[in-house]
A and B are shown apart, each in its own frame.
Chain A
Amino acid sequence: MNRPSIVWKLYIAAFYIFLFAPLLIVAIFAFNSSPFPSPPWRGFTLEWFTGSGAVFGKPGVLLDPIWLDSIGNSFKVAVPVALLAVLLGTVNAWVLERAEFRGKTVLAMMMLWPLVIPGVVLGISILAFFSRVANGLEEWLQTDLDFLRPGLPLVILGQLSFILTIATLIIAARLRKFDRSLEEAAFDLGASRARVLRTITLPFLSPALIGAGLVAMLMSFENFNTTLMLVGSEPPLPITMYGQMREGATPAINAVSLLLMLGVGGIASIFALTAKAER
């Protein structure tokens, strides 16, 4: 088995071409000087990035309020999701690795649930539940509670429901490797609990905290299924892309996709570097 046949090698090569063909096509046609994202090739242009719309009638990504607003909305969701995921994920990791109580195995198993629930079902269940809560509270308080209706706050909660599992697992894995004698040594030397946490435990955890934050941000930015069910009038980027893809888009969508690929590539390489530092 150690001498791979030529057929096997050809298959591997074909596989990697298959893997990258769609992404390459998307990237290449971001620069096509044509009003449609399709062949033939009509020459190189940056119009779909920086154009004002004078050439093709539609502006490029960086001047189009639709795209800019969507990117803004995505950040408005991704940043809180990442911060909450890291903060709450750290506490959860602590519970899993350090605390002793009855029912811990049950809780640990329940934390995995969100990963086996289809995203669409997570979305509708949260939508239905928070609508009921809003209906009840509004009747009682006699005010409108818009943040419980479809919109960015609900999208944040919906995404957090499963991203928190992933953040918890990443941080717990790091905490498990921690040598507790380091903490004990600090206690013996007279350090307070808060000081030990700040100078010993958190610095040890920091690669995992950064990693979990980046992964959370990435997953938030790319989530579609759950977001679709909870979105209001401010669509994040994947929702806008979906709408444009159904209606027929200009190559501006290729330009957005390329920017997204570059952003993701950047985040992924930071993540790979922190993961390396962890070892």
Chain B
Amino acid sequence: MTTKQASRIALYLLLAPAILWLGLLIVLPHVEILVLSFSERVAPRVYAFGVGNYLEFFTEPLYWRTFARTALMSIAVTALTLVLAFPIALYIARVAQRRLKAMLLLLCLLPFWVSELVRTLGWMMLLRETGVISYMLRTVGLADQPVELLYNDGAVILGLVYGGLLFMIVPLANALESLDPSVVEAGFDLGGSRWTVLRRIVIPHAMPGIVAGCIIVFMLTVGNFATPVLLGGKNGLWFTEQIYAQFITRFNWPQGAAFGMLLLLLSSAIVWLGLRLTGQSLGSTLKQA
């Protein structure tokens, strides 16, 4: 055996795990749900090719409304997260000095190392009728009855924004970190107001971070399951819940597969659009995070 052949075999051996992983756990499973989503039940245990599952999505208002609602609320959550996170990231990157900076960033990271379910439990305990906020309102006399703050859109948005904040702050702070202070100073010297400097210098410089943060937060929000279901209750109506219902509760896999493809399409379309609009690549965006 020549050394050339030996190194070829070594290469194949090294590639084997990656090919098995991507093939068996990513590519083939997605081919499977793509095929499944185009199959219709024509008789018990007999399936044929058809677009019925997608037609069902467009004709049943509950389905497409839940889809549109999930998309729109996710966009709102992403925008709100960006607005709330920006002053924090700016403070961490530009104002706070060495020790304080490290501590503020670490304090941001800590809650996100904790399970999503623990964080959601915390919000449930704060917001529900028998919860802490309701109790405090009654104690100070602002309410004479228990106040239910859970199971509405506000609670869902709150929980989702909370869950997305870190993924916005870190890329924003990274992008703002590299802004040269003299550029900002020049902006002020040339007579720019705070607002003008922010709009014309700081925000354009932070754009890569803004895009990275928004893409990640949107993906996480659209694909979330526990937060909308637990904080929204019956009013949660999140699209992932429809996928779960079709797959696990109703055992209608072709329908669930079609929903899964639609969710994947939505998520990928927004990621692609975000990258396209700002001319960035997926690799560099994920690196920001």
Contacts and interface: CB of A to CB of B under 8 A. Distances in A.
A25 B116 CA distance: 15
Contacts of A260: 114-115, 118
B121 A124 contact: no
Given A39-B132, A119-B223, A120-B263, A99 B14 contact: yes
B71 interface: no
B223 A128 contact: no
A114 B244 contact: no
Interface in A29-50: 29, 36-40
B113 A107 contact: no
B114 A264 contact: yes
Nearest to A29: B125
A253 interface: yes
B76 to A, nearest CB: 18
Interface string B268-287: 10010000000000110010
A125 to B, nearest CB: 4
Interface string B234-250: 00000010011001100
Contacts of A15: 84, 88
Interface residues of A, number: 80
Interface string B135-172: 10000000000000000000000000010010000000
B125 A38 contact: yes
A221 B120 contact: no
Given A1-B197, A120-B263, A112 B283 contact: yes
Query: Closest 8 CB pairs between A and B?
Result: A22-B122, A118-B223, A125-B29, A129-B29, A161-B25, A129-B32, A39-B135, A222-B115
Interface of A: 1-2, 4, 8, 11-12, 15-16, 18-26, 29, 36-40, 88, 91-92, 94-95, 99, 101, 107-122, 124-130, 132, 157-158, 160-161, 164, 218, 221-222, 224-225, 228-229, 238, 241-242, 245-246, 253-254, 257, 260-261, 264-265, 267-268
